[in-house]
Amino acid sequence: MEPMTMNIPVLALRGLTVFPHMTLTFDVERPISITALERAMEADQEIFLVTQREIGVNAPAEKDLYEVGTVSHISQILRLSANSVRVMVEGRYRARLRRLWQTEPFLQANVETLAEEEASEAFRRSPRTEALLRQTWNLFSEYAELAGSVPDEVITTVMDCRDVGYLADFITQNIALRHTDKQEILEEMAPFIRLRKLNGFLARECNVLGFEHEMEGKVRDQLARSQRDQILRTQIRVLQNELGEGEDADDEIDTYRQKIMALELGEDVQKHLLKEVNKLSKQPFGSAEGAVIRNYLDVCLEMPWNTYTKERVSVDAARKVLEKDHFGLEKVKERILETIAVRQMNPEGKGQIICLVGPPGVGKTSIAISVAKALNRKLARISLGGVRDEADIRGHRKTYIGSMPGRIIEAISRSGSMNPLLLLDEIDKLGNDYRGDPASALLEVLDSEQNYAFRDHFLEIPVDLSKVMFITTANTSDTIPRPLLDRMEIIQLSSYTDEEKVQIARRHLLPKQMEEHGLKKGSVRIGDDVLRAIIRDYTRESGVRLLERRLAAVCRKADMRLLTGGVKRIAVTEKDLPKLLDCQPYPPALHTEKEETGVVNGLAWTEAGGEILEVEVNVMDGSGKLELTGNLGDVMKESAQAALSCLRSRAAVLGIEADFYKTKDIHVHFPEGAVPKDGPSAGIAVTTAMLSALTGRKVKAGVAMTGEVTLRGRVLPIGGLKEKTMAALRNHIGTVLIPKDNVRDLEEIDQTVRAALRFVPVETVDQVFAEALCPETEPLREEPAGHVAAFAPISRENVGGGALRQ
């Protein structure tokens, strides 16, 4: 057939391909397609059938149609309804779409006929052609066997056909191939290549069908197995019903299964729990093993899997909550707010592990509770004080009698969400014994790199703790094992200043105690001077617990007076305190206002805050013994030895007899001998007291000092300056000598304390002596024979050293 062009109506096919010399029936619904059919019927009953590239396009343009289609003859049209037509067409020859020049009201195009290659007789009879035909027959037979839906007449036609081109078209038209594959066969003009391509498609379809049959077989086997299990279970249920123990157990098993499936856990966890349910279903009624499995499943299902509370990460909201609940602690609040700011910038970040370290009663636990409130997280508190068993953290194996999960899993279950704030209280009080080390068990819990799959011994399934925020509290970090401490970020909480305590009492403690004691606002008046007196004379602590108890005592007495005294208002004054709170348990220090020889006010740090630590030195004739008393630790004893060696090395300069260490006994005593004392920070106080006692020179009144001394007379820095300076102010000290290296710590000190005290930074003991000792020389007393009390006066001009007024 010679190539020619023609203008012809076009019918766009969706998911369908028509081949030459094939008859096909299909339904037409689109208005443009029905109009094209009507137009073709008016003319010569020929129409160009071409497939759309995309099935979903309703109004196809030229780009939406393939180039090659089939010019077909319309054999029959049957109208099914107003909008639907069934048409039978007979394919005539292939044609190429040159231009779609009309899209409304129907498609019309200019098409060019395509001439098929004609094979010679020799080519048709060649062995190569025979081999291709045989391959096609074999593949088609295999396909027909696997598909099972190929009509017999199609199989017969294929087996009798020897025309390569027609065979390719016929098979493609009558089997289920993708429309893209059919289009590829339609576009191939060479008959031999067309059939070879079809054979490739047939081989692929046979493989696919083979896999489908294999999968169907497996599904059928599985169904048969499950039906068999179901029949057996039904028989078991009938037998159990006959024995009176059936329905409840079966309902319980189904309930467990439904709950596990509803949780939508990971595949491994779900498989593990369903395995336990299957074990339970096989247990006889009332068995001990069944009770263990029930308990295990109940604990697992009570866990708040996939339940998360929506976190409120707002720095401003958190600041308001912290400011409302706590006064002071500015650095701690700032650090907590920084943590919340990080959460705000990166909500998907890992949970943080913070350790609040500070003395008792300064608000560590209440800060953690405020953080949970600010973040809108559930709070669960775990007290670790005295925990000695590793199983308390990790849980017991479920095979033991009375076994249960560890405290971490129990706290998460109690909180009701997988992202709570867990408060691990008193982590420094963990013990250990033959049952294991609970601190080591916490290493995995408190490591954000490992705790995404924490395995409790009881649960035996991984629990993600990476979204949990941990806050731990401790009074000291010294007793926390180093590897555990390394996993936490330490935030130090120092003790409150007296002024901070006044504000806390005024804003928080007093209103709370008045409410608890039924006192109306204004019925009891306590001024700030009274609060200061209570803090100074009736409490000795770093926190505010004892202060709260003292205020509770005042409120109790006020309740009694209001009920029995016939008064409506009570104004508490400082003079009333001895009646309300009995005698002062902490009277002011004795030696702060007098100039004495051999008595120096040192400053000490204790867990309850700062203290004045007096040092007394007595010098007596003897054989050079050094006596140290007052319940001293090894470091303090060595510090006194260093002070003595320092004085011996400077004996000539300081005006001390050169052989005093042979002829004099020196007794160093720290009063309050029942209280243990240790540390090097009393070094300059001991040195000054020794020099004062050896030379008879008095120590200035109202002076206190702290600093470590070396053999060469250098003054080294110490810790706890904030608490020590508060103790100095409380005891009416005016001047405080501090090591020069501690000047930077003055920034941390309360402004009230800095304004009230005169701080003198010192680098050497010479500066200490010049500042602390009275300048005038005492008159020489009558001494026993052989004793000369030579003393060279020390002036501040000779030694140097200046005062730093803060």
Q: Catalytic residues, which ones?
A: 681, 724
- CA angle (488 as vertex; 433, 493 as ends), nearest 5: 100
Rounded CA-CA distance 459/298 in Å is 11
Other Cβ atoms closer than 10 A to 430: 25
Rounded CA-CA distance 312/343 in Å is 10
Rounded CA-CA distance 344/374 in Å is 12
Closest Cα to residue 55, out of 13, 23, 87, 116? 13
The structure tokens 């089939």 sit at 70
Cα–Cα distance list, 195 to 96, 105, 179, 451, 743 (Å): 21, 39, 17, 62, 97
Rounded CA-CA distance 376/369 in Å is 11
Q: Report how far Cα 84 is from the mean position of its chain's Cα atoms.
A: 64
Q: Which two tokens stand for residue 200?
A: 């490739």
**DSSP assignments along 699-742, one per residue:** BPTTEEE--EE-TTSBEE--S-HHHHHHHHHHTT--EEEEEGGG
The structure tokens 């409380």 sit at 730
Rounded CA-CA distance 550/651 in Å is 51
Contact status, residue 150 vs residue 158, Cβ threshold 8 Å = no
Rounded CA-CA distance 676/632 in Å is 6
Burial class (CB in 10 A: 0-12, 13-18, 19+), 585: exposed
Other Cβ atoms closer than 10 A to 785: 4
Alpha carbons within 13 A on the beta-carbon side of 285: 13
- CA angle (22 as vertex; 18, 23 as ends), nearest 5: 90
Given CA atoms 664, 668, 674, 678 in this order, what sign does their dihedral have? negative
Other Cβ atoms closer than 10 A to 166: 18
Closest Cα to residue 367, out of 480, 252, 472, 247? 472
Q: Which two tokens stand for residue 336?
A: 């907590």
Alpha carbons within 13 A on the beta-carbon side of 616: 10
CB burial of 739-771 (b: ≥16 within 10 Å; e: otherwise) equals: bbebeebbeebbeebeeebebbbbbbbbbbbbb
Contact status, residue 340 vs residue 374, Cβ threshold 8 Å = yes
What do you get for the CA distance between the two ends of the chain, in Å?
Answer: 114
Helix (H) or strand (E) holding 627: strand 626-629
Closest Cα to residue 139, out of 192, 188, 210, 217? 210
Contact status, residue 706 vs residue 718, Cβ threshold 8 Å = yes
Rounded CA-CA distance 470/449 in Å is 14
- CA angle (590 as vertex; 586, 591 as ends), nearest 5: 140
Longest dimension (CA), the chain: 155
Non-local (6+) Cβ contacts of 781 within 8 A are 696, 789
Helix (H) or strand (E) holding 69: strand 68-81
If phi over 0 gives left and psi between -120 and 50 gives alpha, with beta otherwise, what is residue 698?
A: beta
